[in-house]
């Protein structure tokens, strides 16, 4: 039964989409006059930005161009992640009211469960475009805004985030929804084309051959004969469920067509519609993929890394332990890239970040109509998404006991049944779990199933904290490269690199990357950064870092030089420092300073 707030929707606004969204908003228990909303801290936002670098890389050129054309409407372009967290806001924010500027700033949450009916959250809830104007917003604090939003989709069919235009409600927004739809289509088109690998087939289709090689074309990507990627336009026009990516073959899509390269438009019929297509074979691919930088592991790749890959290939479940931020997910992703599961997806779920009421549907999926507020198309669930790849269960120690039983059954039987369904689907995937907690102690406390522990912890790797990595300077250099420092010709001075390598880093890799993002944001292109460019809290910690260096140098330098028979060049390379730095440290060690 719908509540009183839903009844207050005006007749002009009383569409099915709005009624359902307002009803969900009431179910979330939101107060319509709420004004106090969470904002991610700088470190959390930096992590969120780093984990969505792909989305930003493909979206921001279009976002910036779109924002340039919105000046007259005092609107801004907003890019969020798949949970509704704002990643980037581009445009003239100063023209907006102070409350609006704060509400749309990076780090704010615009999910429907957090802010009620709004374009970003509602677009995510219905997985489709929508516009919410003025009083159509559930919260009164948002009713002076107009917003139009479209979900963005990755080439492998996952929701990546939302593209949104927001501006004052009193302006005319006749064409705004069309603009944001066109921009989203452009982003998804470029994402498929620019992420194409040379060994993959690319098929372009359109009913009008003149529109091939335009953003209007449907794009399908095949690895051998298996469909692995597509733009949203292709999935919707051809009636392909995103869950079939990685399962559907070329022959199933086009049973009367041979998978033969064609550079001229050729007609083909699909779903009673005639299309013209071009099919580019792998050898014809013009897309070049830049080589990835060497991976700096927190352990020897030739020893521990290769052993872990062999275990993963054999179906052994891995448990990675370590302090918060020590790189557990980074290592797991690297293992995935080197394992036999690399053609499948790496599906990560944080058991501590998802509310207990939602984690079951997130893991196991649900049928349409399984519960109030469920997506009308249902949801495949993380476990089925991981089929053929790796399921990464972060903070596994925080999984509710009731769900541990269901997870154990799936791991044992290799079948999963979504909520509301009597049917089960077979699945095959590798499992990596991660935790900073003592799982054995949780078992002793009755908070974790012992049989699940044995199933997940078949082999354990403990990651050392960042402060104990022997080749930390090399890793810092690598992260600086990945974050774009080298591309802007911004360098870390030897003294700064030396200082960074000897901080305690209680937040580990996460803290290091957050600091680097701050340094990059404040630096000018071509600048050399020194210790003086560090934020004050880091400069105050330099004496402690110096003490760490003195305590650490003697044993490390002595053992490394002994291993290489006193060869300074080889020892410096192994330690990841310049020879001059090693000479200076060795001298300090000899002098006892």
Question: Domain containing 68 — which CATH number?
Answer: 3.30.450.40
The helices-and-strands tally (H runs, E runs) of the chain is 24, 19
pLDDT tens column, 407-460 = 888 888 888 888 887 788 888 899 999 998 889 999 999 999 999 998 898 888
Quick check: 513 pLDDT over 60?
yes
pLDDT tens column, 298-308 = 554 556 777 88
DSSP per-residue string spanning 292-326: PPPP--SS-IIIIIHHHHHHHHTT--EEEE-STTS
pLDDT tens column, 42-77 = 777 777 887 788 888 889 888 888 888 887 778 899
**Do 366 and 443 lie in a common domain?**
yes
**pLDDT value for 235:** 94
Q: For the whole prediction, is pTM greater than 0.75?
A: no
The C-alpha atoms of residue 508 and residue 530 are separated, in whole angstroms, by 21
The C-alpha atoms of residue 70 and residue 39 are separated, in whole angstroms, by 26
Strand partners, 223: 226
Structure tokens at 591: 């002098």
**Do 174 and 211 lie in a common domain?**
no
pLDDT tens column, 517-529 = 999 999 888 889 9
Listed range (6-20, 124-138, 322-336, 454-468) with the worst mean pLDDT = 6-20
Q: What is the mean pLDDT of residues 564-575?
A: 68
Instruction: Identify the domain boundary among 393, 427, 462.
Output: 462
Instruction: Identify the domain boundary among 462, 478, 496.
Output: 462
Rg (CA), the chain: 26
Residue of 270, 277, 268, 282 whose CA lies nearest to 223: 282
**Do 175 and 33 lie in a common domain?**
yes
Query: Higher pLDDT residue, 90 or 547?
Result: 90
CA distances from 275 to 209, 235, 426 (A): 8, 14, 35
Query: Higher pLDDT residue, 408 or 585?
Result: 408
Listed range (94-98, 295-299, 330-334, 434-438) with the worst mean pLDDT = 295-299
Please state whether beta strands 130-133 and 145-153 pair in parallel, antiparallel, or not at all (unpaired): antiparallel
Quick check: 292 pLDDT over 50?
no
**Do 331 and 344 lie in a common domain?**
yes
Neighbours of 539 (CB within 10 A): 13
Name the residue range of residue 210's domain: 197-284
Question: Domain containing 538 — which CATH number?
Answer: 1.10.8.60
Query: Higher pLDDT residue, 257 or 563?
Result: 257
292 belongs to a structural domain:
no
* Length in residues, the chain: 593
- Name the most confidently modeled range: 86-100, 133-147, 311-325, 341-355: 133-147
Q: Using an 8 Å Cβ cutoff, are 159 and 120 in contact?
A: no
What percentage of the chain carries pLDDT values higher than 70? 85
What percentage of the chain carries pLDDT values higher than 90? 28
What total of structural domains would you count in the chain?
A: 4
**Do 240 and 330 lie in a common domain?**
no
The C-alpha atoms of residue 591 and residue 287 are separated, in whole angstroms, by 56
**Do 431 and 368 lie in a common domain?**
yes
The C-alpha atoms of residue 580 and residue 569 are separated, in whole angstroms, by 10
Instruction: Identify the domain boundary among 175, 193, 211.
Output: 193
Structure tokens at 447: 């908070």
Q: What sign results for the dihedral spanned by CA atoms 463, 469, 470, 476?
A: positive
b/e per residue, 234-266, with b = 16+ CB within 10 A?
bbebbebebbbbbebebeebbeebeeeeeeebe
Quick check: 357 pLDDT over 90?
no
**Do 71 and 20 lie in a common domain?**
yes
Run of H or E including 392: strand 390-394
45 belongs to a structural domain:
yes
**Do 454 and 481 lie in a common domain?**
no
**Do 432 and 515 lie in a common domain?**
no
The C-alpha atoms of residue 504 and residue 296 are separated, in whole angstroms, by 19
* Confidence band, pLDDT 50/70/90 cuts, at residue 545: low
Q: What is the mean pLDDT of residues 256-264?
A: 88
């Amino acid at each position: 039964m719908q509540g009183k707030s839903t009844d207050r929707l005006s007749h002009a606004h009383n569409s099915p989409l709005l009624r359902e969204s307002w009803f969900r908003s009431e179910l979330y228990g939101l107060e319509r006059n709420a004004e106090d909303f969470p904002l991610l801290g700088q470190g959390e936002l930096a992590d969120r930005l780093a984990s969505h670098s792909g989305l930003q890389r493909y979206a921001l050129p279009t976002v910036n161009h779109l924002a340039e054309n919105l000046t007259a409407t005092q609107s801004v372009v907003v890019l969020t992640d798949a949970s509704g967290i704002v990643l980037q806001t581009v445009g003239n924010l100063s023209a907006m009211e102070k409350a609006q500027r704060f509400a749309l700033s990076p780090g704010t949450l615009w999910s429907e469960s957090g802010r009620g009916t709004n374009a970003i959250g509602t677009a995510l809830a219905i997985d489709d475009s929508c516009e919410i104007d003025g009083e159509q917003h559930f919260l009164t604090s948002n009713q002076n805004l107009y917003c139009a939003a479209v979900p963005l989709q990755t080439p492998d069919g996952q929701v990546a985030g939302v593209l949104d235009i927001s501006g004052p409600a009193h302006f005319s927004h006749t064409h705004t929804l069309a603009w944001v739809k066109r921009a989203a289509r452009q982003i998804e088109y470029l994402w498929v084309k620019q992420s194409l690998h040379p060994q993959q087939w690319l098929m372009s289709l359109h009913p009008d051959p003149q529109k091939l090689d335009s953003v209007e074309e449907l794009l399908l990507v095949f690895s051998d004969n298996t469909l692995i990627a597509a733009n949203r336009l292709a999935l919707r026009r051809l009636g392909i469920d995103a869950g079939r990516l990685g399962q559907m073959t070329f022959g199933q899509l086009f049973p009367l067509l041979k998978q033969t390269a064609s550079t001229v438009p050729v007609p083909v019929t699909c779903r009673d519609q005639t299309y013209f297509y071009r099919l580019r074979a792998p050898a014809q691919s013009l897309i070049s993929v830049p080589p990835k930088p060497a991976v700096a592991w927190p352990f020897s790749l030739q020893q521990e890394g290769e052993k872990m890959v062999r275990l993963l290939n054999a179906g052994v479940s891995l448990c990675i332990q370590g302090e918060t931020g020590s790189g557990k997910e980074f290592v797991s992703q690297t293992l995935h890239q080197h394992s036999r599961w690399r053609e499948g997806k790496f599906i990560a779920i944080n058991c501590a970040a998802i509310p207990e009421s939602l984690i079951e549907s997130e893991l196991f999926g649900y049928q349409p109509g399984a519960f109030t507020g469920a997506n009308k198309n249902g949801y495949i669930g993380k476990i089925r998404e991981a089929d053929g790849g790796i399921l990464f269960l972060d903070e596994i120690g925080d999984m509710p006991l009731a769900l541990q039983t269901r997870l154990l059954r799936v791991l044992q039987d290799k079948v999963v049944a979504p909520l509301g369904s009597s049917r089960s689907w077979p699945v095959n995937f590798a499992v990596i779990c991660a935790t900073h907690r003592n799982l054995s102690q949780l078992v002793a406390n009755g908070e974790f199933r012992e049989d699940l522990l044995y199933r997940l912890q078949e082999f354990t790797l403990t990651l050392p904290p960042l402060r104990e990595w022997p080749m930390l300077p090399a890793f810092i250099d690598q992260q600086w490269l990945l974050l774009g420092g080298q591309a802007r010709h911004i360098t870390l001075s030897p003294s700064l690199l030396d200082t960074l390598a000897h901080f305690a880093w209680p937040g580990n890799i996460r803290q290091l990357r957050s600091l680097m993002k701050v340094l990059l944001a404040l630096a000018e292109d071509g600048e050399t950064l020194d210790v003086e460019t560090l934020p004050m809290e880091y400069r105050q910690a330099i004496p402690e870092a110096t003490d760490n260096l003195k305590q650490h140098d003697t044993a490390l330098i002595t053992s490394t030089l002994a291993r290489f028979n006193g060869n300074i060049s080889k020892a410096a390379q192994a330690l990841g420092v310049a020879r001059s730095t090693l000479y200076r440290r060795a001298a300090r060690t000899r002098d006892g300073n």
